Amino acid sequence: MRKMLLAALMLLTLPLAAKDKAKKTSGNPILPEFHADPEVLFSNQTGKFYIYSTTDGAAGWGGYYFTVFSSPDLVNWTHEGIMLNLNTDVAWASGNAWAPCIEEVKQKDGTYKYYFYFSGHDTKRNRKSIGVAVADTPTGPFKDLGHPIVYDLPEGVRGGQQIDVDVFTDPVSGKHYLYWGNGYMAGAELNDDMVSLKPGTTTVMTPKGGTLQDYAFREGAYVFYRNGKYYFHWSVDDTGSPNYHVAYGTSTSPLGKIEVAKDPIVLIQNPGKDIYGPAHNSVLQIPGRDEWYIVYHRIHKGYLFPQRMDPGFHRQVCIDRMYFNEDGTIRRVIPTQEGVAPVKKVKRAK
């Protein structure tokens, strides 16, 4: 009887111990099931963090809807539901809901608007295009514009896809920019309406050179600003490759020439810890602090090529800290299984 009571007590305490342990760090992956191409947002409206992503696990990257997860501290995440379904909410697209991004924009009356950019299969043109949906809260409901805003290759570009969109607000000028491209990288200034490109501003910005071992551009551009420099991240190699990784460069302008870093790799696989293909990232700065995080996806170790013939669409979202050297270069991120500790209280912008 005593042994039975001890066993029962142990069973009762196990969930509590596991829960307490989970609160110390986020663990990686941070989201359940399969997700990829994560976009992270801190909302000044709610004081919470949000992640939007490609819903993964469908053959041929066939996901057709986007979900949103929220967190008060980057450790405990809540599924907030489907926030945009291409099959029911987007008249021009039939599926392939990929690689979104989002921007929170404060309006003149003090309220906020959320502009959600995404790629989908354009049924009219039979190719991938980029659209935008708008909401009053980070979780929606989102209303699609009704037509894509990027659907043609930029002038001079011979091949590639209009996918992997990123949006960036320049803290220096206050202007908004959109970036996109697979096989090439393009950027353009957005009009004040946030749902159209300013004519004549589209610029091909593809970093030149490199190899699959260092910085050859493939896709997944992400832009942020720190201490007078514009940082550009991008993904190298194929999304199904264990070698899929993040490289970077800097510029003096949001659309300026990118200077590839001398040590360009930001994040790369660590087979010793079963971490493969960590790339297609977004970056989070805690408002008011020089505290930075990188949110990215990695390949589930059970779905690696060539062991599996369906690589590239069983990916998991992860988070780790990102640090800078005194000269502004990025220290190489060490991907972990532990993730990050709860972020301290964040002060919202007024």
Q: How far is CA 130 from CA 38, 127, 206, 339, in A?
A: 17, 10, 19, 31
In the structure, what pLDDT confidence band is assigned to residue 18 with cuts at 50, 70 and 90? very low
Q: How far is CA 104 from CA 122, 134, 167, 215, 259, in A?
A: 26, 10, 10, 30, 29
Closest by CA to 276, choosing from 247, 246, 245, is 245
Closest by CA to 149, choosing from 204, 114, 191, is 191
Share of the chain above pLDDT 90, in %: 87
Peptide bond into 29 cis (omega under 30): yes
Rounded distance, CA 227 to CA 203, Å?
A: 24
Predicted pLDDT of residue 65 = 98
Length of the chain, please? 350
Predicted pLDDT of residue 350 = 73
Closest by CA to 137, choosing from 154, 158, 113, is 113
Q: List the catalytic residue out of 39, 164, 219, 237.
A: 219
Rounded distance, CA 295 to CA 186, Å?
A: 22
Predicted pLDDT of residue 187 = 98
Locus of tokens 């969109």: 165
Three-state DSSP class for 24? helix
Predicted pLDDT of residue 221 = 98
Q: Which token pair is 134?
A: 């708008």
Are 91 and 107 in contact by the 8 Å Cβ rule? The answer is no
- Residues ≥6 apart with Cβ < 8 Å to 181: 154, 157, 160, 161, 162, 163, 164, 206, 219, 221
Stretch 145-165: mean pLDDT, rounded? 97
Top-confidence residue, 17 or 112:
112
Rounded distance, CA 161 to CA 180, Å?
A: 9
Predicted pLDDT of residue 205 = 97
Backbone CA torsion sign across 273, 274, 280, 281:
negative
Rounded distance, CA 98 to CA 77, Å?
A: 21
Catalytic (active site) residue 219: yes
Predicted pLDDT of residue 329 = 98
Q: Kindly report, residue by residue over 239-256, the tens digit of the pLDDT.
A: 999 999 999 999 999 999
Residue 54's Cβ-side half-sphere holds a number of Cα atoms within 13 Å equal to: 32
Predicted pLDDT of residue 5 = 34
Predicted pLDDT of residue 274 = 95
> Is 9 exposed, middle or buried, given 0-12, 13-18 or 19+ CB atoms closer than 10 A?
exposed
What is the residue-averaged pLDDT of the chain? 92
Stretch 128-155: mean pLDDT, rounded? 98
Predicted pLDDT of residue 309 = 61
Closest by CA to 31, choosing from 315, 324, 329, is 315
Stretch 48-68: mean pLDDT, rounded? 96
Backbone CA torsion sign across 11, 16, 21, 22:
positive
Predicted pLDDT of residue 30 = 98
Q: Kindly report, residue by residue over 184-236, the tens digit of the pLDDT.
A: 999 999 999 999 999 999 999 999 999 999 999 999 999 999 999 999 999 99
Top-confidence residue, 7 or 146:
146
Q: Which token pair is 112?
A: 């906020």
* Fold that domain 2-151+240-322 belongs to in CATH: Tachylectin-2; Chain A (2.115.10)
Stretch 2-10: mean pLDDT, rounded? 36
Q: What is the DSSP string of 146-181?
A: SS-SB-SPPTT--S-BS---EEEE-TTT--EEEEE-
Stretch 149-159: mean pLDDT, rounded? 96
Q: Kindly report, residue by residue over 245-296, the tens digit of the pLDDT.
A: 999 999 999 999 999 999 999 999 999 999 999 999 999 999 999 999 999 9
Q: Kindly report, residue by residue over 299-323, the tens digit of the pLDDT.
A: 999 888 766 666 689 999 999 999 9
Predicted pLDDT of residue 308 = 66
In the structure, what pLDDT confidence band is assigned to residue 347 with cuts at 50, 70 and 90? confident
Q: What is the dihedral of CA 136, 142, 148, 154, to 10 degrees?
A: 60
Predicted pLDDT of residue 6 = 36
Domain range list for the chain:
2-151+240-322
Stretch 166-174: mean pLDDT, rounded? 98
Q: List the catalytic residue out of 37, 56, 104, 237.
A: 37
> Is 81 exposed, middle or buried, given 0-12, 13-18 or 19+ CB atoms closer than 10 A?
exposed
How far out from the chain centre does Cα 280 lie?
Answer: 6
Q: What is the CA radius of gyration of the chain?
A: 20
In the structure, what pLDDT confidence band is assigned to residue 345 with cuts at 50, 70 and 90? confident
Q: Kindly report, residue by residue over 67-120, the tens digit of the pLDDT.
A: 999 999 999 999 999 999 999 999 999 999 999 999 999 999 999 999 999 999
pTM of the model: 0.93
